[in-house]
């Protein structure tokens, strides 16, 4: 049971209700996470805006979803793991690719470098070293993409914390956390 109300267009303030309607138009649903965040119009605007901005970034949807499942698993966020597994499948990723990413693994060296980098950021609370940045750069990531990797990490930490702290009910097909 969520620790905050899960709002809808009738119970949310006007700014949140408008954003929830927009989310439903784009996603075809009003996921519980957004309904929980709708308790704060500012937080909902920030979260939804970040998804939109990063969705139009250079990294692309497939890599973004691989990063999200890896970070969700690391943070033990069942909600985000389920949501991003579904979104990853929608972006054309196979179940095997998503399961590997969940464990921080990829057969593609560039994707592996990105996964290793973002998980290092999570584990070290953002304290990346010069060699960490050099490693991801040597895998072919530009400065723009490196900044986006960090932004994806921050957004996923935000969503993981919302869902874990508020015990938001999973409204996607559940996915088991990896050890």
User: Where along the chain do its domains lie?
Assistant: 14-55, 61-165
Q: Angle at the Cα of 97 (from 71 to 113), degrees rounded to 5?
A: 55
% helix / strand / coil in the chain, to the nearest 5? 65, 0, 35
From first to last of its 179 residues, the chain has per-residue pLDDT tens of: 899 999 999 999 999 999 999 999 999 999 999 999 999 999 999 999 999 999 999 999 999 999 999 999 999 999 999 999 999 999 999 999 999 999 999 999 999 999 999 999 999 999 999 999 999 999 999 999 999 999 999 999 999 999 999 999 999 999 999 98
Q: What's the confidence (pLDDT) of residue 166?
A: 98
Which CATH architecture group holds 61-165?
Up-down Bundle (1.20)
Closest CA to 112 of 130, 139, 75: 139
Distance CA 94, CA 91 (A): 9
Q: How many CB atoms lie within 10 A of CB 92?
A: 10
């Amino acid at each position: 049971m969520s620790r905050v109300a899960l709002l809808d267009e009738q119970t949310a303030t006007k700014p949140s209700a408008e954003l929830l309607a927009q989310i439903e138009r784009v996603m075809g649903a009003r996921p519980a996470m957004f309904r929980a965040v709708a308790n704060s119009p500012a937080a909902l605007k920030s979260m939804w805006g970040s998804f939109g901005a990063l969705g139009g970034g250079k990294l692309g949807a497939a890599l973004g979803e691989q990063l999200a499942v890896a970070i969700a698993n690391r943070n033990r966020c069942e909600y985000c793991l389920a949501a991003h597994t579904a979104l990853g499948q929608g972006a054309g990723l196979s179940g095997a690719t998503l399961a590997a990413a969940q464990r921080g693994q990829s057969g593609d060296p560039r994707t592996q470098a990105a996964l290793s980098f973002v998980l290092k950021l999570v584990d070290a609370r953002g304290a990346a070293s010069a060699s960490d940045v050099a490693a991801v750069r040597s895998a072919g990531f530009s400065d723009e993409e490196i900044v986006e990797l960090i932004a994806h990490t921050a957004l996923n930490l935000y969503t993981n914390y919302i869902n874990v702290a508020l015990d938001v009910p999973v409204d996607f097909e559940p996915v088991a956390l990896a050890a």
